[in-house]
């Protein structure tokens, strides 16, 4: 069939319109926390600002507090099938699809926030990115959140102090350690902690300092253990559907990475103050606040090495390699 000049021109115009539409497509960012309050939302908005400073044609829209209608854990499937472009995603929520992701919350592997940030760009980081790619997502930022314990009616100290508690920890491998200490564990995303404490489904929880404050968990718990030694530390980065990441041009990927680097520094700064803000919020609410002592922390780590670590290593060769790599970062 012969193409006329008019037909060729029409085809070129249609192609240009199609490309323009693709470039103008809005990138949705979903998460479960309060807008402009929680540090994760604030860091995402800084990321957008930095991207747009380099390329204003890339459009974003943030959907905080589950306003997109996707449950926190279900975001992974939406990212994998490409119906969702980006999310702030606690990586331990992916363990149902790939149990190796438990490494990002493994008790006793990360001493503090500075230690977590030193892992950026290491063989551990690169291997974790391989795992992410194999599961349909790309880790864009490197946001780690320190956290702590809180309970309704007792102080949490060493392992013996959680005996009999109904507690949430955010990861099944972490929960193995808690069960060994005598706790009953209940699995749920952080968005469900408040009503579960209110109803009695939980009487204690572990989560990030950010979440304790932004979700006002101090209204439902009166004993907080936070600061000092970080037993609970979780990677909660900005992630992108691998399908959509691959559609970005090399230049756009570079822009995204530079923006992520800026957001990483900003977010780490927020987290250095997050545990203090959590402690202050609890004291203001009339609650008791304490730090995990060196001896208590050592007891928890010893228990983790007997329970969580071997259970994780047994999951796969990839799990064993990730546990080895994370210990190499000092």
DSSP H helical ranges for 135-189: 172-180
The confidence score (pLDDT) of residue 140 equals: 98
Segment 55-79 mean pLDDT: 97
Residue 236 token pair: 């909660």
Residue 86 has pLDDT above 80, yes or no: yes
Residue 6 has pLDDT above 70, yes or no: no
Residue 280 has pLDDT above 90, yes or no: yes
Segment 242-270 mean pLDDT: 97
Per the DSSP assignment, residues forming a β-bridge with 246 are none
In this prediction, what percent of the chain has a pLDDT beyond 70?
93
Q: Where residue 111 falls among pLDDT bands split at 50, 70, 90? A: confident
Return d(Cα 193, Cα 149) in angstroms, integer: 13
Return d(Cα 286, Cα 272) in angstroms, integer: 23
Residue 7 has pLDDT above 80, yes or no: no
Q: Where residue 11 falls among pLDDT bands split at 50, 70, 90? A: very low
Averaged confidence pLDDT in the chain: 93
| Angle at alpha carbon of residue 328, lines to 312 and 301, rounded to 5° | 50
Question: Which domains are seen in the chain, by residue range?
Answer: 22-327 (3.40.190.170)
The confidence score (pLDDT) of residue 24 equals: 56
Q: Where residue 25 falls among pLDDT bands split at 50, 70, 90? A: confident
Q: Which helix H or strand E contains 15, and what residues bound it? A: helix 5-24
Residue 20 has pLDDT above 50, yes or no: no
Residue 240 has pLDDT above 50, yes or no: yes
For residues 138 and 149, is the Cβ–Cβ distance under 8 A?
Answer: no
Residue 275 has pLDDT above 60, yes or no: yes
Q: What is the 3-state secondary structure (H, E, C) of 201-228?
A: CCCEEEEEHHHHHHCCHHHCCCEEEEEE
The confidence score (pLDDT) of residue 228 equals: 85
DSSP state for residue 102 in the 8-state scheme: G
Nearest to 89, CA basis, from 189, 168, 167? 189
Q: How far is CA 90 from CA 45, 76, 138, 150, 280, in A?
A: 18, 10, 13, 20, 25
Question: Could you give the dihedral angle defined by the CA atoms of residues 88, 91, 94 and 100, in that order, rounded to the nearest 10 degrees?
Answer: 160
Segment 29-39 mean pLDDT: 95
Residue 105 token pair: 């919350």
Helices vs strands, H then E, count in the chain: 13, 12
The confidence score (pLDDT) of residue 3 equals: 44
């Amino acid at each position: 069939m012969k193409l006329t000049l008019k037909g060729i021109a029409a085809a070129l115009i249609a192609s240009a319109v199609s490309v323009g539409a693709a470039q103008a497509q809005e990138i949705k960012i979903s998460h479960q926390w309060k807008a402009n309050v929680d540090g994760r939302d604030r860091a995402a908005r800084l990321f957008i600002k930095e991207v747009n400073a380099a390329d204003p044609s890339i459009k974003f829209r943030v959907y905080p507090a589950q306003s997109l209608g996707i449950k926190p854990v279900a975001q992974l499937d939406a990212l994998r099938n490409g119906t969702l472009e980006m999310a702030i995603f606690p990586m331990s929520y992916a363990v149902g699809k790939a149990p190796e992701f438990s490494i990002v919350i493994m008790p006793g592997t990360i001493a503090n926030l500075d230690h977590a940030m030193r892992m950026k760009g290491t063989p551990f980081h690169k291997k974790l990115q391989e795992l992410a790619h194999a599961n349909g997502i790309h880790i864009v930022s490197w946001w780690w959140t320190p956290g702590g314990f809180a309970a309704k009616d007792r102080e949490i100290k060493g392992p013996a102090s959680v005996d009999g508690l109904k507690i949430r920890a955010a990861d099944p491998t972490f929960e193995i350690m808690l069960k060994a200490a005598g706790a009953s564990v209940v699995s749920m995303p952080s968005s469900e902690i408040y009503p579960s404490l209110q109803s009695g489904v939980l009487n204690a929880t572990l989560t990030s300092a950010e979440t304790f404050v932004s979700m006002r968990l101090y209204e439902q718990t009166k004993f907080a253990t936070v600061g000092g030694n970080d037993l609970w530390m979780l990677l909660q980065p900005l992630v992108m559907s691998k399908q959509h990441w691959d559609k970005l041009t090399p230049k756009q990927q570079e822009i995204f990475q530079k923006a992520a680097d800026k957001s990483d520094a900003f977010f780490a700064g927020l987290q250095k103050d997050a545990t203090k803000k959590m402690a202050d919020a609890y004291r203001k609410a009339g609650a008791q606040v304490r730090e995990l002592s060196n001896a208590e922390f050592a007891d928890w780590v010893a228990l983790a090495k007997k329970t969580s670590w071997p259970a994780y290593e047994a999951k796969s060769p990839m799990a064993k390699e990730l546990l080895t790599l994370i210990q190499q970062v000092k």
